[in-house]
Structure 1
Amino acid sequence: MTNPFEDETAQYLDLVNDEGQHSLWPAAIPVPAGWRTTLGPTTRQECLDHIAEVWTDMRPASLAMQMDGVSGH
């Protein structure tokens, strides 16, 4: 059995959580709680390209706000 996260022929989603963290996710697997779809279903490479383009700050949103001195209120 192939790893569903590495199957070049499968369809994928780009998921994002409340902290702004992205995840490549096989479209055939239910989206886990706390995550929402921002792209897909589409090819694995298109999802990876999209994630590389939009996820430029790897810090969780709450940490980025704290470090940048931004109030969350």
Structure 2
Amino acid sequence: MFDTDAREFRVVRNSEEQYSIWTTERELPPGWFEVGSRGSKAECLAYIERSWVDMRPVSLRRSLSGSEGTAA
């Protein structure tokens, strides 16, 4: 049923740069902020697919940046 939901969704991200989608009528939990796109579930998921290119939390990427050099 969620896949055919006609409600409007929004793309949200937390401080670890992890993405999710929420319906626009729901209040966001602490630490999550709206970014980028609003629209259908499919549109929002497509935005995340294009934007979330490194699934590692930002804190992990930062801690590894010194030991990995420029490797991602």
| Identical columns (%) | 30
Q: How many residues align?
A: 67
Deviation at 1:7, TM superposition (A): 4.3
Runs of 4+ in 1 over 4 A off after TM superposition: none
Higher helix share: 2
1:30 aligns to what?
Answer: 27
Let me know the Cα RMSD of the aligned residues: 1.8
Q: Distance in 2 between matches of 1:35 and 1:69?
A: 28
Question: With structure 2 as the length reference, what TM-score do the two structures score?
Answer: 0.80
1:58 aligns to what?
Answer: 55
Q: Distance in 2 between matches of 1:47 and 1:25?
A: 9
- Tell me, which stretches of 5 or more residues in structure 2 are unaligned? 68-72
Deviation at 1:52, TM superposition (A): 0.4
1:42 aligns to what?
Answer: 39
Q: Which amino acid aligns with 1:66?
A: S
Q: Which amino acid aligns with 1:56?
A: V
